[in-house]
A = this chain, B = another copy of it.
Amino acid sequence: MAVGYQGLPELMPVAGVRLATVKAGIKKPDRRDLVLFELAPDTQCAAVFTQNRFCAAPVQVAKQHLSVGRPGYLLINTGYANAGTGERGLADAIACCTAVAEVAGCEPERVLPFSTGVIGEPLPVERIKAAVPALLAELSDTGWAAAAEGIMTTDTVPKAASRTLELGGQRVTLTGVSKGAGMIRPNMATMLSFVATDAAVAPELLDSALREAVAVSFNRITVDGDTSTNDALLLLATGRSGASVIDAENSDYRRFVAALTDICIELAQAIVRDGEGATKFIAVKVEGAETVAEAEQVAFTVAESPLVKTALFAADPNWGRILAAIGRAGVDDLAVERVRLYLDDLLIADKGGRVADYDESAAAERMAKEELTIGIRLERGSAEATVWTCDFSYDYVRINADYRT
């Protein structure tokens, strides 16, 4: 069960978005595995996708369709990722879009496909096509929780969040879902995540808002350092709230970005809390770096060290492994005698070694907590970054050794 999971929060409908989730029998019988989003006409869409060179067929098709015009439908299947599937994979992704377009009565280019699951095996297109009429028949504006379940793979819990804010006297809603537990080290994107709002935002500002939010949310998480072939994050703005269009970087834009960043952090953290085998949720906060990139580099090196992650699993204050990870993070002129290391509020190491009054039992108490901040102060500048990660347990090995069986 995900660390700190309290059940799904209340998910507010977003005017202009309807959803449906059905059982298509894609990989496992009797589970809801196919999701459709229907978007009101003129919905603006901003998107970021994986930087993996082996990007999946649906990612390629979605990018191409986005270049043609505004999407009317998003079709998402779990079970198979349709990645590493060559030419056939592209044809399969397009066939799924065409199946939706035929029933919905729109152009295939208005449908964006998304897939998640096993890499390298072909998509069961016929089963997906057969389920499309039922999908369109079940569309409703209250389908968010079911959609959050429908896109899960090795996730143990669904992930979704909602926010509201006032813009020009109108209440605006943001609601989003995300999935992902392994192959998590997003690079300019994440595993699958879809966030919708009824705010009206000019296209270029919607895009910059998404990039601002992603930089400090989905691009700051790691489970295993493996960037997926299928990462995609979509931000959909239907404009149906009645609030006026945000068309300048004014205070409304800043407040919208703040709310979007907030929901993206919650959705991204939910992925880490449900990281494969996770028993702990860890923030690695690096301060006093010369640049944000340097702070991120140190934080990710610590967050991805298998030795640090297994020590966290064991609740063993083996902080020497954290120092070793900082030392190999590529900061060539690091003055190690100035580095300070904290577990939550407890100063553990400075001047190149443990503090004079080091107390192993106090350190062990911090390490035993289910949620912990590893604080690292480099004393080189004023830049900082926080990366969220989880520990490395027997269950990580079990889940990934058994994944396809």
A interface residues, Cβ below 8 angstroms from B: 51-55, 81, 83-89, 118-121, 182-183, 185, 187, 224-229, 304-307, 310-311, 313-314, 316, 318-321, 323-328, 331-332, 334, 336-337, 349, 351-354, 392-394, 396-398, 400-405
- Could you say which residues of chain B place their CB within 8 Å of the CB of A331? 53
A53-B331, A327-B53 known; A349+B393 contact, CB < 8 A:
no
- Could you say which residues of chain B place their CB within 8 Å of the CB of A54? 323-324, 326-327, 336, 352
- Could you say which residues of chain B place their CB within 8 Å of the CB of A228? 324
- Could you say which residues of chain B place their CB within 8 Å of the CB of A121? 320
Is there contact, CB below 8 Å, between B324 and A183?
yes
- Shortest distance between the CB of A164 and any CB in chain B (Å): 37
Is there contact, CB below 8 Å, between A120 and B354?
yes
A86 touches which of B52, B307, B352, B394 (Cβ 8 Å): B352
A306 touches which of B55, B226, B398 (Cβ 8 Å): B226
A54-B326, A224-B306, A306-B225 known; A405+B316 contact, CB < 8 A:
yes
**8 chain-A/chain-B pairs, Cβ below 8 angstroms:** A51-B328, A54-B352, A83-B323, A185-B328, A229-B323, A314-B401, A316-B405, A393-B397
- Could you say which residues of chain B place their CB within 8 Å of the CB of A336? 53-54
Docked pose: A304 CA to B306 CA in angstroms: 10
A392 touches which of B88, B319, B326, B397 (Cβ 8 Å): B397
Is there contact, CB below 8 Å, between A400 and B310?
yes
Docked pose: A313 CA to B157 CA in angstroms: 27
- Shortest distance between the CB of A403 and any CB in chain B (Å): 7
- Could you say which residues of chain B place their CB within 8 Å of the CB of A311? 400-401, 403
Is there contact, CB below 8 Å, between A120 and B229?
no
- Could you say which residues of chain B place their CB within 8 Å of the CB of A85? 352-354
A307-B182, A310-B401 known; A52+B327 contact, CB < 8 A:
yes
Residue among A54, A324, A327, A404 with max Cβ neighbours from chain B (10 Å): A324
Docked pose: A89 CA to B323 CA in angstroms: 15
- Could you say which residues of chain B place their CB within 8 Å of the CB of A324? 52, 54, 83-84, 119, 183, 226-229
Is there contact, CB below 8 Å, between A88 and B120?
no
Docked pose: A332 CA to B326 CA in angstroms: 27
Docked pose: A227 CA to B182 CA in angstroms: 24
Docked pose: A324 CA to B83 CA in angstroms: 9
A305-B225, A398-B394, A400-B310 known; A328+B187 contact, CB < 8 A:
yes
Is there contact, CB below 8 Å, between A323 and B353?
no
- Shortest distance between the CB of A91 and any CB in chain B (Å): 12
Docked pose: A247 CA to B351 CA in angstroms: 44
Is there contact, CB below 8 Å, between B307 and A224?
yes
The chain B residue with its CB closest to the CB of A353 is B86
Docked pose: A224 CA to B305 CA in angstroms: 8
User: Given contacts A119-B318, A119-B323, could you give 7 more A-B pairs where the C-beta distance is less than 8 Å?
Assistant: A53-B326, A53-B336, A83-B323, A84-B353, A120-B349, A310-B396, A316-B405
- Could you say which residues of chain B place their CB within 8 Å of the CB of A183? 307, 321, 324
